[in-house]
Amino acid sequence: MKSVSVERLAIIVILFVALALSSLVLFPGAFWQISEAGFRTMTLIGVGSMAACAIGLFWMQKKNSEAEFERGEMPEPPLESPTEFYAHPDASASIPPPPPAPPQHAPRAQAQYPHAPIEIVDEDEGVIQLRFTDPLTGLGNRDRIVDKFEKMINSASEDGNGYPGDSACFAIGLLDLDGMKLINDMFGRAGGDAILKQCAMRLSNGVEEGGLVTRLDGDKFAFIFPDITSEDEIEAKANLLLEVLQAPYDLDGRAVRLSGSIGVGIVPQVGVQFETVNDNLTSALAHSKRAGQGRVTVYSREHEQENLDNARLEQALRRAIDNTEVLPHFQPIISLQDGSLLGFEALARWNDPELGPVSPVKFIPLAEKRGMIAPLTESLLRQAAGAAVLWPAELFLSFNLSSVQLVDPNTARTMLSIIKSIGLDPKRLEIEVTETAMMSDPETAAMVLADLSKAGVRISMDDFGTGQSSLGRLRELNLDKVKIDRAFIKPIGEDKAAEHIVRAVLELCVGLELTVVAEGIETLPQAELLKRIGCHAGQGYLFGRPQNERRTLAYIREYMGDSTLGSAQQATS
């Protein structure tokens, strides 16, 4: 400071002298006459003084600036910020902050090269670079949470007895938004991005200091809560995060709602390697999603057991498919109007030597998920068609097709070639599909069904009333039959509303020239009422449970034998 003042004084003196000399040069006539040589000398002195004065001023200014910068008085050049908000300490740590008071020891390079890669010094985290930032939301990204996780594990190992993460007590979780696809479809990408930003803001506000929220990709986020030791505690905190997410969002003046699913675990139980943790959390998250929207699953030992059970089940199913141990059973479908036997629905049955009987509700979705549904269906169709060719020619075989096969354009060709090789007329085959199954890829589904229809196979809409029923689609799809789900049949006779629904579906289907089958008929009054209101056919325990191939043949013999009056006909007449 002192040296600057002395220099400043010297410059002022030089300036003064220079000005005085210049005046002498510029106005010589005003004082005295001088020679030409004297005039040149005076001019040189004047110009030299002014140049010295200018250099001095420039140098003084430069010195002054550096001194002020070192005191932190000069604002840093503003940093370009990719985000709109800096809600959370961690979020702000991972993104450039708004023009701040410069740090005490601001790196010189930053002031001199404002466009150099931005590095922000954070007291806890060290140098955090832009590679840790999610550009859309301004939160940290995947690398950021991996980095923080590893640092927390390492510091826990140092604090404990040296094993990685042995004394760690924090929670880490995955959060997946439910309903983003719909928002993107309705509001476009920009709308979806705006919602993601709002979610990010809410989530980062929902995690306390020392914690972290990052965006992994798409609509998936990850978070860390510090100092958590109990499952109840983290479950409560995760539920709070979901509550915060569920409040309505404003999108161009329209209120939008969404929810999320969470899989969360406590370290070290959930793992100490990030990849293991990620696998375990992914399966906890899948568990939440299966249970419905807005759920939290805390990874636990039971969960681990469930995973092991699933792995065992998967192995056993693979083996059972290879060894043709998954068998079709057959449940009769009866005409409610005249009591005649119309055909059978094939239903898959699996009785594992070690696991015992496993429900198709369990193994069919597993086969779909693990890529086993095609070989399973082919094996079932081959066996079912082999059984059906032995039945009287007027009986049909109704066969369930899974959603996965409706997105495979080869399905129709494969199925037709199987029944051809067995010698079953395609006109005796019906395919049962659900509305939901047709939703994922409606074009391919329509193509598969059209190819089957063309060959003479009839198409049945299964579980009608439980999916996203679209009356328009009923017309478009060239269906032959509709099967009303048993949820509507069960209360019939007791619940007027259920009866009205069944009547309405019947009316609609008659108008569209569709045959209607009522599923899950268990009692005589149900069958009688359905007959009265004009339902064509029925299926359920009243007429027979699903049975194996041999018993089915015996059933047919008994039902169609000498007398065409079977038990069901007696029951409904």
Is 331 a binding residue for ligand C2E by CB under 6 A? The answer is yes
CB of 368 to ligand C2E, least distance (A): 8
CA dist list (Å): 452 to 269, 389, 409, 455: 52, 19, 11, 5
Of ligand C2E, Ca ion, none, which one sits near residue 261, judging by CB under 5 to 8 A according to partner kind?
none
Contacts of 78 by beta carbon, 8 Å cutoff, 6+ apart: 99
Q: Which of 237, 432, 474, 529 binds Ca ion (CB under 5 A)?
A: 432
Residues 289-328 that bind ligand C2E (CB under 6 A): none
DSSP characters over 61-119: HHHHHHHHHHTT-SPPPPPP-S-S---SHHHHHHSPPSSPPPPTT--HHHHH-TTSPPE
Contacts of 504 by beta carbon, 8 Å cutoff, 6+ apart: none
Q: What is the C-alpha radius of gyration for the chain, rounded to an integer number of angstroms?
A: 40
Backbone angles phi, psi at 153, to 5 degrees: -65, -45
Q: Which of 96, 192, 206, 546 binds ligand C2E (CB under 6 A)?
A: 546
Encoded one letter per residue, x for contact with Ca ion by CB under 5 A and - for no contact, window 463-482 reads: x-------------------
Distance CA 97, CA 76 (A): 12
Q: Which residue is closest to ligand C2E by CB?
A: 540
- Give 369's DSSP letter: H
- Which among 266, 270, 259, 258 has a CA at the least distance from the CA of 295? 259
Is 435 a binding residue for Ca ion by CB under 5 A? The answer is no
- Which among 140, 150, 282, 147 has a CA at the least distance from the CA of 214? 140
Helix crossing, 373-388 with 549-560: angle to 10°?
A: 40
Of Ca ion, ligand C2E, none, which one sits near residue 359, judging by CB under 5 to 8 A according to partner kind?
ligand C2E
Is 168 a binding residue for ligand C2E by CB under 6 A? The answer is no
Residues 337-376 that bind ligand C2E (CB under 6 A): 346-348, 359-361, 364
**The one segment of 87-95, 199-207, 460-468, 509-517 that binds Ca ion by CB under 5 A:** 460-468
Nearer to Ca ion, 294 or 360 (CB): 360
Is 433 a binding residue for ligand C2E by CB under 6 A? The answer is no
Of ligand C2E, Ca ion, none, which one sits near residue 435, judging by CB under 5 to 8 A according to partner kind?
none
CB neighbours of residue 256 within 10 Å = 18
Q: Which of 214, 280, 400, 552 binds Ca ion (CB under 5 A)?
A: 400
Nearer to Ca ion, 147 or 463 (CB): 463
CB of 239 to ligand C2E, least distance (A): 33
CB of 401 to ligand C2E, least distance (A): 6
Nearer to Ca ion, 81 or 466 (CB): 466
Residues 447-506 that bind ligand C2E (CB under 6 A): 462-463, 486
Is 520 a binding residue for ligand C2E by CB under 6 A? The answer is yes
Q: Which of 49, 261, 402, 515 binds ligand C2E (CB under 6 A)?
A: 402
Is 462 a binding residue for Ca ion by CB under 5 A? The answer is yes
> Quick one: tokens of 365?
């979705």
Distance CA 513, CA 44 (A): 113
Q: CA 123, 127, 132, 135: dihedral to nearest 10 degrees? A: 90
Distance CA 272, CA 260 (A): 25
Kindly list the residues in this chain that would bind Ca ion in the complex (CB under 5 A).
400, 432, 462-463, 519
Kindly list the residues in this chain that would bind ligand C2E in the complex (CB under 6 A).
331, 346-348, 359-361, 364, 380, 400, 402, 462-463, 486, 520, 522, 540-541, 546
